[in-house]
Structures are given as C-alpha cells and as structure tokens.
Amino acid sequence: MAKRIIISGGGTGGHIFPAIAIAHAVKRLAPDTQFLFVGANGRMEMDKVPAAGYEIVGLDIQGIDRKSIWKNLTLPFKLYKSISKARQIVRDFKPDVAVGVGGYASGPLLHTAAQMGIPCLIQEQNSYAGVTNKRLGKKVNKICVAFDGMERFFPKEKILFTGNPIRRESVEIYNKRFEAAELLSLSPHRKTVLLTGGSLGARTLNECMLAGLDKLVNAEAQVIWQCGAYYYDELNRVVADRYKDQVKLTAFLHRMDLAYAAADIIIARAGAGTIAELCVVGKPAILVPSPNVAEDHQTKNALALVTKNAALMVSDAEAPQKLIDTALNLLNDRKQGAILEANIKQLAILDADEVIAREVLKLAGEHHTKK
C-alpha cells in the first residue's frame, strides 16, 4: 500500500526548493508515494509547488510583523483557524509522516500532526534554528540539519546531519559554459560576475550593482544580474540600452545551471539553500548576508564558510563601499580564487535529498505497520 506524506512550509525559495527536492527524492525511491503540500495562502509556494507537479492546500497564516503592531492583532485568530484547518487536513489525508521545512505553515501543521500521533521530521536549513523549528524540536521524531553544533537548539539524540537538499538540475554545470554564454547572449571569453539576490531579489545588492556597473564594464567584465520581479522594470529602464552587450538583467533565473556555468565569481545572499548550491558548484563566492532575517542567521551561515576560507563575506552595511571592489579584486586574483574554489568544494553534499528521503520513508514505514 502506498505511503502518504504531508510536506509543510514555504514563504521563500529557501524553504520551498528543499521541500520539492525531498519530494522528488522520495518519489525516486518509492514512486507510488502520495503527497500533499501545505503552505501559507498568498505566499510563493502556492504557485511553485503546483508548477513542480504536486498538490498544495493553503493555511491562512502569517508571521509576526515587526514593523506594524496592528497587523499582529489578528495573529492569534489566524493561528487558531490554521490549527483547526491543519487538524482537518491531517484527518482527511491520513498521512504516514509529516515533514516540515520551515516557514509560516510549518508550525501549525507539524504541531497538529505530532499531537495526533503522526511521526514528524523537520529539516532545519540554517546554522541558527528558527523559532518555529526550535519549538517543534521537542515534539518531532527526527531533525535533519546542515550545520555543526545544532545540539544548541535541538535534542541531540534526534539530530541527523544530512546537509541541505539542492535542486540537482541547478548545479549540473559541467561543460555548459559555451552553451550558457550563447543562451544568455554573453561572451564565453569574458570574465563573468553572477549576482543573485534570491527568489525575491535583494535591494542592497541591486543598488550596489547599479552603482558599480561602469566599474565592472570598464574592467571588461560582464554581469548576469538576477534582481527579483519587484525591482526589474525600474532597473531595466536604466540597463536595457546602456549596458545591453555586457549585462544580462533578469527578474528570475529559470536556468540556474547556465548562470552558475557562465560565472567566474558569484555574489549572493547567504541563505542556506544558496550556500548548499554554491558548495556543489564550487566557484569563488562573495556572500552578503541579509540583515532582515530572524536572529541574523544568514551571517552565521556565511561565517560557517568564511572561517574555513571557503568564501568571502561583505556585510550589508559595508556593501555600498566595498562590494564591487571586492568582486573586481577577486576576479583578478587567480590565487585567491583557486583557494576559495578548493575549500568550498570540500563542503559539498550532493545527496542530502536522498538521505532525508530515506529517513522520511523509514518513519512512514514504521507508522504504516502500526496501523
């Protein structure tokens, strides 16, 4: 009889892509498995998950709004409503296991599933555990982590070091540089900077790149610039005609493999999913941690690489003064680039999705036999 698995969470690509990677890996190991994703209404998972071929239902849940106290007044009601709906979802779907990847929907669903006796697994992507996962840690059966020292947040006996699941198709870059250059309308012979602000874009990175484009172009570098949909129209008005031969501006990179293949160096935020991909891609990287995340966890993610001389870091506050010069220095310093490349490659974990998938199926199998 087919196993039934609920996967819950989302909000950003950093939560959604690992969730989809885990589902794909489970499917490879047990093709008849049935899935149901649970997300937050209005968030990007409600589009991305169906696009990946999976059914999703939404909870009317939000996070704490740190800028507006008034918007938080409805939070207790939304939480109560979400827990009630989560209970109904679990009753109707009858899962053998529930998987949480972080994000707003993960808390109510996993809390409810654990209360109802469903085996639960959470996947913590970051080096500093989120509030939701820390609370769930006491209730779940297994906690899959990607960084050392996570016993600070979770019961040691429940922790399994797996690394972060990655989009395999995004890191398959071997022998693709010329194909990438052709499809992106760039030269395969020019030094290339890839700047990616994550699925939503990053204001600081965009402002730094806009201010530094002349410097990069004058140094005969070319740029692949993923800016996010919110910023695209405004930036495109500036970039389209003036820099069209040396700058490829895009709201979202649908072929991340080509962008990675074309790049000589990569500038990125320090989300856990991005870092996991960068380790496998093995290119010199400059990380600019976002200051707008809980517990400043992106800085902690970045430092996990910086302390091993596997990446450079520029703080968000210093980026306007330092980022473009740091990028130009790295482009021209082959020795430093080679050291960063060698060290970041040593941190690569390619099969995290399958390791987690086997744990999920193990928990599901144990529950299945008890039915």
Same domain, 58 and 137: yes
Same domain, 242 and 283: yes
CB-based contact 146:163 (threshold 8 Å): yes
Q: In what order do the strands lie in the sheet with 142-145?
A: 56-59, 34-40, 4-8, 97-100, 120-124, 142-145, 159-161
Domains in the chain, number: 2
Query: Domain range holding 356?
Result: 4-166+351-370
| Cα(117)–Cα(113) distance, integer angstroms | 6
Same domain, 339 and 190: yes
Mean pLDDT check: name the lowest of 161-175, 215-229, 235-249.
235-249
Same domain, 87 and 212: no
Annotated binding residue 12 = yes
Annotated binding residue 274 = no
CB-based contact 358:29 (threshold 8 Å): yes
**Res 107 pLDDT > 80:** yes
Same domain, 213 and 81: no
Same domain, 288 and 277: yes
Annotated binding residue 298 = yes
Same domain, 335 and 363: no
**Res 353 pLDDT > 70:** yes
Structure tokens at 27: 């499917």
Annotated binding residue 175 = no
pLDDT digits (tens, 9 = 90+) for 225-283: 999 989 999 999 988 878 878 999 999 998 999 999 999 999 999 998 899 999 999 99
CB-based contact 291:212 (threshold 8 Å): no
Percentage of residues in the chain having pLDDT higher than 70: 94
* CATH, residue 290: 3.40.50.2000
**What is the pLDDT at residue 75?**
62
Query: What is this structure's pTM?
Result: 0.85
Q: Which is it for strands 192-196 and 222-226: parallel, antiparallel or unpaired?
A: parallel
Mean pLDDT check: name the lowest of 88-92, 147-151, 282-286, 354-358.
147-151
Same domain, 156 and 140: yes
Q: What is the DSSP letter of 261?
A: H
Same domain, 13 and 94: yes
pLDDT digits (tens, 9 = 90+) for 46-97: 999 999 999 999 888 765 555 555 565 556 666 777 788 999 999 999 999 9
CB-based contact 211:320 (threshold 8 Å): yes
**What is the pLDDT at residue 370?**
65
Annotated binding residue 68 = no
Annotated binding residue 290 = no
Same domain, 221 and 129: no
CB-based contact 208:280 (threshold 8 Å): no
**What is the pLDDT at residue 251?**
92
State the number of CA atoms in the 13 A half-sphere of 349 facing the CB. 18
Annotated binding residue 13 = yes
The strand ranges marked E within the chain are 4-8, 34-40, 56-59, 97-100, 120-124, 142-145, 159-161, 192-196, 222-226, 247-250, 265-268, 285-287, 312-313
**Res 30 pLDDT > 60:** yes
**Res 314 pLDDT > 60:** yes
Same domain, 41 and 76: yes
Same domain, 201 and 316: yes
